[in-house]
Structure 1
Amino acid sequence: MAIAGADCKFIVIDVGAYGSNSDGGIIQDSAFYKLLNSNNLNIPEPTFIPGTNTTVPFVFVADEAFPLSPNMMRPFPRREVTDEKRIFNYRLSMARRQVECAFGILSSMWRILLGTIEVHDTFACHIVKAVCALYNVILNNDELAVEARTRNNDLPACNRRPGNEAMIIRDKFMSYFVSPLGSLPWQNN
């Protein structure tokens, strides 16, 4: 599991869980999630959505495998999706592309990650941690980062009930995304 920023650099990685474990289970056992839930991540204070008087917290963007919480946004379930919810899901998926790009660039740089790493589990974890660290170092070097990104142009459920606060925050983002101020010209297509 990993968290990447808008610059495609890894902020947090959690290596060592078995592939048969669910993403929701992995995150709930992670140090990151425990810090998030105990409000110990030093996340900035909530701020206004640009051009509005609506405040929302800073959030991590996740897919449907992860729990909805005040600081973690996930898409609405696909069943009975309204136009507003579909637009929210689309905008969220646009934001999630950064982590997908990070994994795509990482695996194109180190092809060993595309298959089974045939070493002891502990050593495989060290390999993954090392290539993630090297990846961030390369992206910090502007010249190497451009080369790494241009080489990879073809980038391709948790059962915990979210709290009411998390659903209200997601609704605020959804309302903004469909408003004249926050909408994109092509999002209805």
Structure 2
Amino acid sequence: YLSTGLSYGAISDAFKIGTSTVHYIIAEVCTAIWDKLASIHMPEPTTNLFLRSSTLYMQKWNLPNCVGAIDGKHIRVKCPANSGSMYYNYKGYYSIVLQALADAQYRFIAIEVGKQSDGGIFSESTLYRRLKNGTFNMPADTELPQTNINCPFMTFPRRELDDLKRTFNERLSRARRVVESSFGILESKWRLLQKPIETTPDLADKIVKCMCVLHNIVIDKDGMDELMLHEIDQQSSNFGETEQLSPTVNTRSTRRALTTRLAFAQYFLNHPV
């Protein structure tokens, strides 16, 4: 079901079982995979995990103090019964939103799945609240390499902010491509995501979480499929639509954010690739 995207009806005919049984099996298996394997292949992030992720971002993408890249993806769903506009997005279709923090190896460090009405604004997410209140085990501030500039560890957003210099945006886009490629790999592997998921929103949430854990398991067990990654990077079309995550309702930057942004921009200018 997940890998082929076959309908309940097609699976029912193939295995000579009722569609309600298909629904029950899918719900039970997806729930079990998430409940039993998420703690192994998508564990609660620790400070050491973030430090390892930061090391890989520096080694692979020359991005210091980056623990992950955050982005969102619309997951198409069939119009839920009696939902009104709750799941209807501004792009003109029904969806749930997968928000994800990806490491430099295209694995998901943390995810959150929600409806369009509460998933499109980053400041409404649990990820944002944990980063804001200091409960996400982020490492302490440290100096940027080869400098005495003390900066926090960052989760770089997908958006390229207009007031940053070109060199900053170019370096920032590397983190953006990592999480976009993670979504591309996810959708390429699990074809169910290439069409609307025809089930209830609650089960759709479980299915998406299950696929994200399976995504990590495949990478953990088999490594990265470099050919698939190359094909994804070369494709001009998006794998579904990514959701531009607004970091906060108030768009005015704090003094600390501006200072940090300037420090990174200056570092990138002084340390070109």
TM-score range, shorter chain: 0.7 to 0.9
Gaps of 5+ in 1: 65-74, 185-189
Work out whether 1:146 is the aligned partner of 2:256: no
Q: 1:63 aligns with which of 158, 162, 172?
A: 158
Q: What does 1:52-91 correspond to in 2, within 5 Å?
A: 52-64=147-159, 75-77=160-162, 85-91=165-171
Superposed displacement of residue 4, structure 1: 0.5
DSSP-derived class of the 2:138 partner:
coil
Q: Structure 2 CA distance, aligned partners of 1:54 and 1:32?
A: 27
Structure 2 counterpart of 1:183: 272
Work out whether 1:109 is the aligned partner of 2:189: yes
Deviations 1:84-107 (CA, angstroms, capped at 9, x unpaired): 711101110112211111101110
Report runs of 4+ in structure 1 exceeding 4 Å deviation. Answer: none
Distance 1:146 1:35, change over 3 A: closer
Matched residues, percent identical?
34
DSSP-derived class of the 2:115 partner:
coil
Over the residues paired in the alignment, what is the CA RMSD in angstroms? 1.8
Superposed displacement of residue 131, structure 1: 0.5
Give the letter aligned to residue 259 of structure 2.
Answer: I
Q: How many residues align?
A: 161
Distance 1:107 1:100, change over 3 A: same
Deviations 1:51-79 (CA, angstroms, capped at 9, x unpaired): 11111110001023xxxxxxxxxx331xx
Q: Structure 1 CA distance, aligned partners of 2:205 and 2:227?
A: 27
Q: 2:114 aligns with which of 16, 19, 26?
A: 16
Give the letter aligned to residue 114 of structure 1.
Answer: Q
Give the letter aligned to residue 13 of structure 1.
Answer: I
TM-score for both structures, normalised by structure 1: 0.78
TM-score for both structures, normalised by structure 2: 0.55
Gaps of 5+ in 2: 1-98, 236-245
Give the letter aligned to residue 266 of structure 2.
Answer: S
Q: Structure 2 CA distance, aligned partners of 1:177 and 1:41?
A: 27
| Aligned 8 A contact 2:186 2:215 in 1 | yes
Structure 2 counterpart of 1:127: 207
Structure with greater Cα Rg:
2
Q: Structure 1 CA distance, aligned partners of 2:224 and 2:127?
A: 30
Q: Structure 1 CA distance, aligned partners of 2:192 and 2:212?
A: 12
Structure 1 counterpart of 2:258: 167
Distance 1:34 1:146, change over 3 A: closer
Give the letter aligned to residue 102 of structure 1.
Answer: S
Give 1 or 2: higher strand fraction: 2
Superposed displacement of residue 29, structure 1: 1.8
Q: Structure 1 CA distance, aligned partners of 2:172 and 2:115?
A: 26
Give the letter aligned to residue 154 of structure 1.
Answer: I
DSSP-derived class of the 2:105 partner:
coil
